[in-house]
Amino acid sequence: MPQVSSPAPSWVSEYGTHTAVLGGRTYRIVAYPQGSPLAGKYGCYRGGKYTGLTRDLAAAKTWCSDLARQSRDSSSLP
């Protein structure tokens, strides 16, 4: 069966936080501030729970999209 590609996620940026609803769950990307040990990195959260750390915003968006896809694919198994 051919895979149907999902539309590109629509990320909303507000106050330095990027948010999208993917697969019915809220994903949030937070840029860690200067002076933090994690400065320059991005934290990814799904439903308020930490899921990982990435090096840049593009990687964080890819990470969240992949998590949503994995969650969707595993929930559609018989």
The runs of H, that is alpha helices, within 1-78 are 57-75
Confidence category of residue 5, pLDDT binned at 50, 70, 90: low
Q: Is the pLDDT of residue 2 over 60?
A: no
Q: CB-based burial of residue 18 (10 Å sphere; 0-12 exposed, 13-18 middle, 19+ buried)?
A: buried
Which tens digit of pLDDT belongs to each residue from 16-59?
899 999 988 999 999 999 999 999 999 999 999 999 999 999 99
Contacts of residue 51, defined as CB under 8 A and 6 or more positions apart, other chains included, come to 44, 45, 63, 64, 67
User: Could you tell me the residue ranges of all domains in the chain?
Assistant: 12-73
51 in Cβ contact with 44 (< 8 Å): yes
Does pTM surpass 0.75?
yes
Neighbours of 67 (CB within 10 A): 18
